[in-house]
Amino acid sequence: MLKGKHIILGISGGIAAYKSAALLRLFVKAGAEVQVVMTPNAKQFITPVTMSALSGKPVVSEFFTANTGEWHSHVDLGLWADAMVIAPATASTIAKMANGVADNMLITTYLSAKSPVFVAPAMDLDMMRHPSTVRNISMLRSYGNHIIEPAEGELASHLVGKGRMEEPENIVKALDDFFRASKSLAGKKILVTAGPTYEKIDPVRFIGNYSSGKMGYAIADHAAARGAEVTLVSGPVAIVPENPAVKVVSVESAREMLEACGKYFPSSDIAIMTAAVADYAPAETYDHKIKREKDGLDQISLVKNPDIIASLGEHKRDGQILIGFALETDDEFNNAVDKLHRKNLDIIVLNSLRNPGAGFRTDTNQVSICFRDGSRKDYPLKSKSEVADDILDVIESKYAANN
């Protein structure tokens, strides 16, 4: 799976850096193209000459090459990579990654990387256990980074415990498994909706809601990373997909969203509707800004918007999977299950505004995935990126069972 893949191998300054040469050799043997990025301290443990000889490319370590004035672009590197692996990742590098302290080439490259990032921590037992390291690693997890857990055993200090960098063969296997799994939705067409809808009152005002699009965009990005052909019908948001393969269809109102979904749903295998669609729109739209004094507007008459997902549910054909979201504030499960059946959905993902960190605008969400047979899976609070993966895992097993 690694043949032809572009991998950035980030090496920070720990004794386990000696294993990075073996890791690099295995990546190259598997057919990957590897660019090594070293922190200044890493060069004390293993020489750039060794790493450039094994990779066939000059090692990048400084922002500038002093004698030529050449600038190394971390942004270009970040875009080039299919994966970034930081092995070994010391406590200090992990802390900088968690907090965005961009004081060396490895961290600036990490911050620019659009690819999945794998982190193989290596440090002494007590550093590994320290609350700050534990917190920093969990922050990296919340960013969607993959932590390759260190192994237990004798450490360089002769202490015995957790902190030994995972063996190079197992790191290569982790990436291989990732790329194998990441194509699990190849050949599938997925429609995702995200964001709010804006229902226009006049040229400056609208009825809308707090949806940021983060949940839907995370699902679209992860589905594309798994190889699906993704069309993302998005209401007005301030974000863009991270995965360039996602096709975005921008809409504003519920009616525009209905029209776009009507166009893409028939050829989709799966539809995941995370958009917070306004249930009502103004009966009348003014073409000029309503003046407080002159128009004396103190009431807006509303009309019901189309229920987009219900209309897709009516036209759903055999084999298609339709997933809704339910955003609730009370009697959550009954309301969600009612929507599941009323709108003819296969699955509904419940998030409740009563759970701190769940719902609109946050980077996290807490969901329960409810099925038609009355069963459900409850998940703890996670990053929206992790929630997207959980939902896609469930959909994949459902799809495999249905087809």
Task: Give the residue numbers marked as catalytic.
Answer: 209
For ligand PMT, the closer of residues 28 and 310 by Cβ is 310
In the complex, what is the shortest distance from the CB of residue 328 to ligand PMT, in angstroms, rounded to a whole number? 7
In the complex, what is the shortest distance from the CB of residue 331 to ligand PMT, in angstroms, rounded to a whole number? 12
Instruction: Give residues in contact with ligand PMT (CB under 6 A).
Output: 193, 211-215, 254, 273-277, 279, 305, 307-309, 324-327, 339, 351, 359-361
In the complex, what is the shortest distance from the CB of residue 347 to ligand PMT, in angstroms, rounded to a whole number? 11
Identify the three-state secondary structure at position 229.
strand
In the complex, what is the shortest distance from the CB of residue 160 to ligand PMT, in angstroms, rounded to a whole number? 44
For ligand PMT, the closer of residues 55 and 351 by Cβ is 351
Token digits of residue 31? 């057919």
For ligand PMT, the closer of residues 289 and 354 by Cβ is 354
Residues recorded for the chain: 403
Cα dihedral angle (285, 290, 293, 299), rounded to 10 degrees?
A: 30
For ligand PMT, the closer of residues 155 and 275 by Cβ is 275
DSSP 318: T
DSSP 29: H
Q: 139, 131 in Cβ contact below 8 A?
A: no
Backbone angles phi, psi at 382, to 5 degrees: -140, 170
- Per DSSP, which regions of 125-211 are E strands? 146-147, 151-154, 160-164, 189-194, 199-202, 205-207
Where does 183-213 have alpha helices with state H? none
The Cα 345–Cα 195 span in angstroms is 20
For ligand PMT, the closer of residues 184 and 209 by Cβ is 209
Q: 215, 350 in Cβ contact below 8 A?
A: no
